[in-house]
Amino acid sequence: MSDVSGKKVRFVTIENEFEGQRLDNFLLRTLKGVPRSYIYRIVRKGEVRVNKGRVNVKYRLNGGDVVRIPPVRQTPAQTQTPFPALQKKLDKTVLYEDKHFMVLNKPSGMAVHGGSGVSFGVIETLRSMRPQQQHLELAHRLDRETSGCLIITKRRSALKMIHELQREDLIEKKYLALVYGSWGRKTQIKIDAPLKKNALKSGERMVQVDPLGKQALTYFKILEKFDDAMLVEATLVTGRTHQIRVHLAYAGTPIIGDLKYGDDHANRIYREKGLHRLFLHAYRLAFVHPDSGKAMNFQAPLDDELESILAVLRA
């Protein structure tokens, strides 16, 4: 990227290598340490412009685009680094790595990126651990409470290839969920119910089934049955926000430990059994390597808490 800076405003010309990157991710890398919420605000107010025009944070950059970046004051607090313990914890989660990408078994409770009161997510922590790798990016996202397989790309070309596989539904994503209730005699169900995002007065984002929402399709299969619960496998066809959680609640079998869409009574019962987190785990990813053509299949083991609650139920 060529950078022509004035005293107050910078104009950055995007090189072809960065084509396809979202504007918010580009700004987060360029304005190191600046909170995501602040970046969203200056884009929304039109202080950031692309080719002299207003765009939103989801805009994907093209080679040759000129990005106007306003002056941003960074405080010492914004230049802090993640705690060593956080870095050490994340370093132990790597399931696979090559020159194109890495796959992590993301822990529950760790956001994939900073923002909303979180200083450091997975991507910020990785970048602090590997400053020599300039192009680390999230290829997709997982909810903060959800654990499991997460792809981080190490090159712009890899990010574009992974996104292309996702657009063509060529990445198989399977999740494990412990749900409260039963589907009767059914062993598998298909939920094709459109989802729409809504913001409550508190500012909390909720998703609900709505005819005016975006199409969302999930396949579910029972793996094990217990007295009042089931261990199910979820296969995503679309990838909407909170899709599995909302679809399972819609089916009358909410995920245990889900404080947003779940059942308070079920959550209380299972807290007494030792479950203090959402039981949703992205346990499998499968796709053909976009560079080598080799079939890739990744499985992320359950953490100790999830294994322990299953052991209690099986006893």
- Would you please indicate which residues are annotated as catalytic (active-site) residues? 143
Residue labelled with tokens 């084509």: 19
Write the DSSP assignment of 34-46 as a string of letters. --HHHHHHHHHTT
308: helix, strand or coil: helix
The count of other CB atoms within 10 Å of the CB of residue 67 is: 22
Angle at 265 between CA 259 and CA 266, to 5 degrees: 75
User: What does the DSSP 8-state code read for residue 76?
Assistant: G
φ/ψ bin of 78: left (φ > 0), alpha (ψ from -120 to 50), beta (otherwise)? alpha
CA distance from start to end of the chain: 59
Task: For residue 224, give the amino acid letter.
Answer: E
Residue labelled with tokens 């066809």: 237
Query: d(Cα 215, Cα 111) in Å, to the nearest integer?
Result: 26
- The answer to whether the Cα torsion of 58, 64, 70, 71 is positive or negative is positive
Question: How large is the greatest C-alpha to C-alpha distance in the chain, in angstroms?
Answer: 70
Nearest Cα to Cα of residue 172 among 306, 283, 294, 290:
283
φ/ψ bin of 252: left (φ > 0), alpha (ψ from -120 to 50), beta (otherwise)? left
Residue 111: what are its φ and ψ, rounded to 5°? -70, 150
